[in-house]
Chains A and B, each alone.
Chain A
Amino acid sequence: MNGLKRDFPILQQEVNGHPLVYLDSAATSQKPLQVIQALEEYYRGYNSNVHRGVHTLGSKATDAYEGAREKVRRFVNARSIKEIVFTRGTTTALNMVAASYAKPRLQAGDEIILTPAEHHSNLIPWQQVAKATGATLKYFPLAADGTLEMGKVKEMITPQTKIVAMQHVSNVLGTVHPIKEIAQLVHAQGGVIVIDGAQSAPHLKVDVRELDVDFFAFSGHKMCGPTGIGVLYGKEELLEQMEPIEFGGEMIDYVDLYDATWKELPWKFEGGTPIIAGAIGLGAAIDYLEAIGLDKIEEHDRKLASYAVERLSQIEGLTIFGPREGRLGVVTFNLGDVHPHDVATVLDAEGIAVRAGHHCCQPLMRQLQVTATARASFYLYNDEADIDLLVKGLQKTKEYFGHVIR
């Protein structure tokens, strides 16, 4: 994994007089030259609309766009490209499942189960479904370290469970949940499992058939791809039953003045000119990640997280949230009574970019009994030296705010 930093032009700069140490990849990852070049080649060389033009550029763009879909299919090991819908991101994908699959099917007495650690994007759509249908929202309890208590999970999944919607990897705690096991429990009771894969797809090999999940959503920009592109994987038989959310060009088969029919999967869900450049960029990102190897990336990101936990826990007064072991890519912490904004500002002055705030997980923050935390997140371009600089920066923060640390 050495030398990967060189592929990322943005990392070659100084911020506030210090070499940039980017530790905010859980928010968005940086982009390698290979992805930037793919976008530039498209816009310079063959920018054109897809699925309609007879002209050469149109075919080239269509081939690249649909080629990217095939790369995504392979990336998650879906059966067919019919199961790969391009979306604006994870949020849009999860909202599609909530609005198009769940809302027309659920009723009072049905249950939707989430975890309390869900990102707002996998929480609020389900609150809306529950309000609209009368279904009940329930939550798997989390142990103090943020891991799931599987005994409770087993107990709670019943024939009333129509949907289990949960994260694969927590964006705050870095916990990796046993999705395959939970999917089996859900299916045994006739329910459907929806996975927010925004924090897992960048870091580990996702195999939707092996996990046997019904829906799996993820974003391009967190895995070296551009913003504005994401993916909804759905089992073909489920997507087939669902109505489109957006109506317009590109998604229709036959249109008359009073009615219309839809294209086949996956295009019935892609109304309007699709995210062509985004999909091509995502394809390039997948090529980049696969050339390195997802297994290697996972090993690297796990190692960095445990190195960070080890180093950070040596800082007196620092609290780490989440499990001590087995976390992937993320370490969330607070430094005594210094507010995380102040921590992030002092680190920024040292060129170190971390996130401070509630990380779009307000209910989880309440459970952790904090209003905000600081978060350092790692990806393939980070190394132990970055974490050493973080530790140095935190020691400086401690000195700076020495009088408020208790």
Chain B
Amino acid sequence: MSLDDLYRRVIMDHYQRPRNRGRIEDGAVTVDLNNPTCGDSISLQMRVEDGVIQDAKFLGEGCSISLASASMMTEAVIGLSPEKGLELVDLFSRLMQGEEVDMEQFPLEDIEALTGVAKFPARIKCATLAWKALEKGLKEKH
């Protein structure tokens, strides 16, 4: 177990310069989720039109892993159908459980950097929080 497996350069890049951080002006679905065991929180907004996730933005408090994962997730799902988004939620969850998954299915290469999180059981919940918010939003509202 090496720290560098966890804190890959690309993770720190998303942590320090999060993509899609902010609010969507109107027509958005909002999902607020907390991780009650550690105090992390995310407020995810999505605008879905014509069967496509047109936009996704988030605000949140959390560690490097949770914020980097949220940044990558929003980047990955914009432009996808809600169905494809839910497929990625499942794929990401399997990735975090240490399963071998087809990384080609993720439309964003950076997500590969989160693979190392599976080796740090205490941190898996940090990485999955944003994806759980995505799942909730896509399942409940569409």
Contact A349 B1 (CB under 8 A): yes
Contact A372 B38 (CB under 8 A): yes
Chain B 113-138 residues near chain A, CB threshold 8 A: 120, 122-123, 126
Q: From residue B9, how far is it (CB to closest CB) to chain A in Å?
A: 11
> Contact flags (1/0) for B77-102 with A, using CB distance below 8 Å?
00000000000000000000000000
Q: From residue A15, how far is it (CB to closest CB) to chain B in Å?
A: 11
Residues of A within 8 A of B40 (CB): 341, 371-372
Q: From residue B117, how far is it (CB to closest CB) to chain A in Å?
A: 10
- Could you say which of A345, A346, A362, A401 has the most chain B C-beta atoms within 10 Å of its C-beta? A345
Given A345-B120, A356-B38, CB of A403 within 8 Å of CB of B63: no
A190 at the interface (CB under 8 A from B): no
A77 vs B62: C-alpha distance when bound (angstroms): 45
Contact A345 B39 (CB under 8 A): no
Given A339-B64, A362-B39, A371-B61, CB of A345 within 8 Å of CB of B15: no
Interface of A (DSSP majority class): helix
Contact A341 B65 (CB under 8 A): yes
Number of A-B contacts (CB under 8 A): 53
A342 at the interface (CB under 8 A from B): yes
Residues of A within 8 A of B120 (CB): 345
A311 vs B123: C-alpha distance when bound (angstroms): 28
Given A357-B38, A362-B39, A404-B16, CB of A339 within 8 Å of CB of B63: yes
Q: From residue A404, how far is it (CB to closest CB) to chain B in Å?
A: 7
A349 touches which one: B3, B15, B39 (CB < 8 A)? B3
B6 at the interface (CB under 8 A from A): yes
Given A341-B123, A345-B3, A404-B16, CB of A358 within 8 Å of CB of B39: yes
Residues of B within 8 A of A400 (CB): 3, 7
A393 vs B37: C-alpha distance when bound (angstroms): 24
Residues of B within 8 A of A403 (CB): 12, 16
Q: Which residue of the partner chain B has the closest CB to A362?
A: B39
Report, as a range, how many residues of chain A touch the other chain: 20 to 34
Q: From residue B8, how far is it (CB to closest CB) to chain A in Å?
A: 13
Q: From residue B60, how far is it (CB to closest CB) to chain A in Å?
A: 10
Q: From residue A302, how far is it (CB to closest CB) to chain B in Å?
A: 28
A16 at the interface (CB under 8 A from B): yes
Q: Which residue of the partner chain A has the closest CB to B67?
A: A339
A16 vs B6: C-alpha distance when bound (angstroms): 15
B41 at the interface (CB under 8 A from A): yes
Q: From residue B1, how far is it (CB to closest CB) to chain A in Å?
A: 6
Residues of B within 8 A of A371 (CB): 39-41, 61-62
A349 vs B66: C-alpha distance when bound (angstroms): 19
Residues of A within 8 A of B12 (CB): 403-404
Q: From residue A402, how far is it (CB to closest CB) to chain B in Å?
A: 11
Contact A358 B63 (CB under 8 A): no
Q: From residue B56, how far is it (CB to closest CB) to chain A in Å?
A: 22
Residues of A within 8 A of B41 (CB): 371
Contact B3 A372 (CB under 8 A): no
A122 vs B48: C-alpha distance when bound (angstroms): 44
Contact A345 B38 (CB under 8 A): no
A348 vs B38: C-alpha distance when bound (angstroms): 16
Residues of B within 8 A of A16 (CB): 1
Contact A372 B39 (CB under 8 A): yes
A357 vs B41: C-alpha distance when bound (angstroms): 12
> Contact flags (1/0) for A375-406 with B, using CB distance below 8 Å?
00000000000000000000000001101100
A345 vs B123: C-alpha distance when bound (angstroms): 8
A252 vs B45: C-alpha distance when bound (angstroms): 57
Q: From residue A396, how far is it (CB to closest CB) to chain B in Å?
A: 9
Q: From residue A184, how far is it (CB to closest CB) to chain B in Å?
A: 37
Q: From residue A235, how far is it (CB to closest CB) to chain B in Å?
A: 35
> Contact flags (1/0) for A316-343 with B, using CB distance below 8 Å?
0000000000000000000000011110
Chain B 27-73 residues near chain A, CB threshold 8 A: 37-41, 61-66
Q: From residue A398, how far is it (CB to closest CB) to chain B in Å?
A: 13
Q: Which residue of the partner chain A has the closest CB to B3?
A: A349
A365 vs B36: C-alpha distance when bound (angstroms): 13
Q: From residue B101, how far is it (CB to closest CB) to chain A in Å?
A: 24
Shortest beta-carbon contacts, A-B, top 4: A339-B63, A341-B63, A358-B39, A371-B61
- Write the residues of chain A forming the contact surface with B, with a CB cutoff of 8 angstroms: 16, 339-342, 345-346, 348-349, 356-358, 362, 365, 371-372, 400-401, 403-404
Show 19 residue pairs from A and B whose CB-CB distance is below 8 angstroms, ordered by the A residue.
A339-B62, A339-B64, A341-B40, A341-B64, A341-B65, A341-B123, A341-B126, A342-B63, A345-B3, A345-B123, A346-B3, A349-B3, A357-B37, A358-B39, A372-B38, A372-B39, A372-B40, A400-B7, A403-B16
- 15 new A-B pairs (CB below 8 Å) besides A346-B3, A404-B15? A339-B62, A339-B64, A341-B126, A342-B63, A342-B64, A345-B3, A345-B6, A345-B122, A345-B123, A349-B3, A357-B38, A358-B38, A362-B39, A371-B39, A404-B12
